[in-house]
Each structure stands twice: as structure tokens, then as C-alpha cells.
Amino acid sequence: MSSKEPRPHEQRAAAGDKSGDGKPAASRIALIRGPMSLRKPGKDTSAKTVTFGDASEVSGAIAWTIVSLIVVLLVWFVATNVWGLPSEWSDYAVDVRAGLSADESYAQRDLLRDCEASQANPDDYPGLPACSYTQWLSERVMPGPFQLWGAMWGFARDGYSNFTLWEHLWDSFSRLIKGLFWGVVIGVPIGLAMGLSNRWRGIFDPIVELLRPIPPLALIPLFIVWFGIGEEGKVNLLLFAAVWIMVIAARSGVLAVNVSKVHAAYSLGASKAQVLRHVILPNALPEILTGVRVAIGVCWGTLVAAELLGASSGLGFTIFKARQFFLLDLMLSSVILISILGVSMDIIMRMAEKRLIPWRGRG
């Protein structure tokens, strides 16, 4: 080969930088680097191409939440509403209500009761046609939305059993917060110790595994004997419901820590206290906060039983007292208030998770 004869790669460059397969070299380099190199400058390349299976991308959809609530309310209304009632009976109910005092009432269930009575004794209701109607769910089983709204409004306006609505709410909420707080304060350190030390795990493991399966409701008689019927018994019952959940959550959080992170911290000269503070606790925090959310739900479920211990106020007490007089609308109003408070606390915990552990689900 002559010294003046161009070399093979120079020949390809002179021919438009073509490769053996006919593709320009720039295209081959782009294929090696991947499709990211073919994107135009200035375009955002940080968007994820895979979202299915990525928990960090799942945040809920407000529109679908609203649709779900609307469907539930619509089904509830259709199932409990009275259909096909003659208009004469509706006018009869208006006339009856007009002659009542402020302390008296003539609700829909009273009208339906008279309607059914007219079928046996039509002479007692002169001028009214035969009464017939369709109702899939009777008010004796499930109050309708409007009846429930009226009961909640009366509860907020007049209170119940010598306490206002806000006093009932505050008494229940304060008992739950006290029990949950002490459950977290006691349960989290025990769970961390069980996850970090064989000795502490050996000490606490039989106690936790023996007491954890016991339902709090089974201990109500014993709690009455031990702590009386005052506030202490109610708070301790909620504490018993929450503490085992927090022990298990904290222990699971410690066991889920990637050991390579611990080794890396020690290799950089970190002490045990620094490893606990900067490695173990941040990695265990997601499990601990999840445990708090679970404990909130369990404590609300236990609250009704806790307020049976000689309470004179609270939403659980209201449910129990209304049950004695078969006030389904008031009972359901208290249940819905408990649900609203529970959902509000869960939303607060979700916001705390986003702020305290923004790395959750991102590897």
C-alpha cells in the first residue's frame, strides 16, 4: 500500500463517513448511546418511561374519588327513598306537620306507619286513597341521606345527653390521641430494640407474641377492675390496642434496612449512634408511619368499646345510648363523624409521609 494511498477509515470519512452497513458514523454512535442521545436539545429527558409497578407514581385520582362518592350517595338515595306514594298522602303529611308544636315531629317513618295502618283500617283515614309505595331499604334498617342530614343537624344544634356535639367530639378525640401517643412512645423503642439486639428480642418477643393476638374487647372487664371506670381505663385500653402494632412496625422497619448501607456507614467511620440516627431510623421511618396509620384505624374501632367503661360523653357513648332508644339516624351520624375524623387523621399522616420521607418508593 502506497504511503499516499488513503487508509480505509479515511476512505469512509471521505465517502460521507459511511460504515460497512451503509449507516453514517453519527447514527452508529447515537445507537450505541441509546435513544436519549437522539432527543432534541432542551427537551426534558427526565420523564419516566415506565410507570406501571412504580409505587412512587401512584398518588390517587381526585376525579375518580368524587365519582365514587357520588355513586355511593346516589345508590343510597335510590335504595332508601319512597317511590310511588300517592300525592294525597304527601299532602296529608304536610297538614299533620302544620298542626304540630315545635317539640313535635312527623317524619317520613311516621307517614309510612300511618300508610300501613290505613290498609288495615281505611275508615280511620277518610278521603285518602289506598296507600302503596316502593322502598328497597326501610328506614327501620337504614336511614336515608336527608333523614341522616336532619339528625346530624339536630345533633350539632341541640347536642345529646347534656353535652354538645363538639364536647362529644373532643372527648373522643382526646382519649384516642392519648392512647395513640403512649402506644407510639412505648411501642417504637421496644420495636427498635427488638430489631437491633438479640438480647432485647429474646426478652420482649414472648411478651409481644403472647399479648398481641388478644383483642382489646376481651380485656374490658379486667381493665375495669384494674383501672376503674374513669378516663384511665379508656386510655389504657386504646394504648393496649396501639402498642403492639407499633412494636411490629418498628421491628419490621429495622429488619428492612439494607445492610450494605450500614456497612458503608461504618466504613466511613460512623459510630453506632450515627448509624442509628442517619441510617437505621430514616430507613425504618416508612414502616413506623405506616404502623401509626394502622394504629389510628384500630384505635377508632376500639374507641366505641373503650367508651362503654362508664363514659358519659363521646361518640362511642352516643352510639351506645342511641342504641337503647333505637335511634338509627343518630347512631349512623356518630359513625359517620368517627369516619370523617379517621379519614382526616389519615390524610394528615399521608401529608406527613410526603414531607418526612420523600424518598419512599424511589429506591
Q: What is the pLDDT of residues 251-290, one digit of tens each?
A: 998 888 888 888 888 888 888 888 888 888 888 888 999 9
Sign of the dihedral defined by the CA atoms of residues 174, 178, 181, 183, in that order: negative
Quick check: is 106 in a domain?
Answer: yes
Measured distance CA(138)–CA(250) in Å, rounded:
47
The count of C-alpha atoms lying within 13 angstroms of the C-alpha of 172, restricted to the half-sphere facing its C-beta, is 30
pLDDT tens sequence across 190-214: 999 998 888 998 999 999 999 998 8
Measured distance CA(285)–CA(276) in Å, rounded:
12
Nine-digit cell string for 235: 386510655
Q: Based on the domain organization, do 306 and 184 belong to the same domain?
A: yes
Total number of domains constituting the chain: 3
Measured distance CA(283)–CA(198) in Å, rounded:
20
pLDDT of amino acid 159: 86
Quick check: is 36 in a domain?
Answer: yes
Quick check: is 69 in a domain?
Answer: yes
Phi then psi for 79, rounded to 5 degrees? -75, -30
Q: Based on the domain organization, do 250 and 181 belong to the same domain?
A: yes
Domain boundary among 108, 143, 178: 143
Domain boundary among 143, 178, 206: 143
Percentages helix, strand, coil for the chain, rounded to the nearest 5?
A: 70, 0, 30
Q: Based on the domain organization, do 243 and 349 belong to the same domain?
A: yes
Q: Based on the domain organization, do 177 and 319 belong to the same domain?
A: yes
Measured distance CA(141)–CA(164) in Å, rounded:
27
pLDDT of amino acid 239: 93
Quick check: is 362 in a domain?
Answer: no
Contact assessment for residue 319 and residue 334, using Cβ atoms and an 8 Å cutoff: yes
Contact assessment for residue 230 and residue 310, using Cβ atoms and an 8 Å cutoff: yes
CATH of the domain at 317: 1.10.3720.10
Quick check: is 361 in a domain?
Answer: no
H or E element, residue 171: helix 165-196
Q: Based on the domain organization, do 135 and 220 belong to the same domain?
A: no
pLDDT of amino acid 357: 79
Domain boundary among 83, 109, 143: 143
Give the whole-number percent of the chain exceeding pLDDT 90: 18
Q: Based on the domain organization, do 39 and 181 belong to the same domain?
A: no
Measured distance CA(189)–CA(140) in Å, rounded:
49
Q: Based on the domain organization, do 123 and 179 belong to the same domain?
A: no
Domain containing residue 20: 1-47
Q: Based on the domain organization, do 272 and 134 belong to the same domain?
A: no
Measured distance CA(187)–CA(245) in Å, rounded:
8
Contact assessment for residue 152 and residue 333, using Cβ atoms and an 8 Å cutoff: yes
Q: Based on the domain organization, do 192 and 282 belong to the same domain?
A: yes
Q: Based on the domain organization, do 39 and 69 belong to the same domain?
A: no
pLDDT of amino acid 267: 87
pLDDT of amino acid 33: 43
Give the residues of the chain that fall short of pLDDT 70.
Answer: 1-60, 102-104, 309, 360-363
pLDDT of amino acid 238: 92
pLDDT of amino acid 30: 41
Report CA dihedral (293, 296, 301, 303) to the nearest 10 degrees: 180
Q: Based on the domain organization, do 300 and 340 belong to the same domain?
A: yes
Q: Based on the domain organization, do 214 and 334 belong to the same domain?
A: yes
Quick check: is 228 in a domain?
Answer: yes
Closest CA to 191 of 183, 238, 236: 183
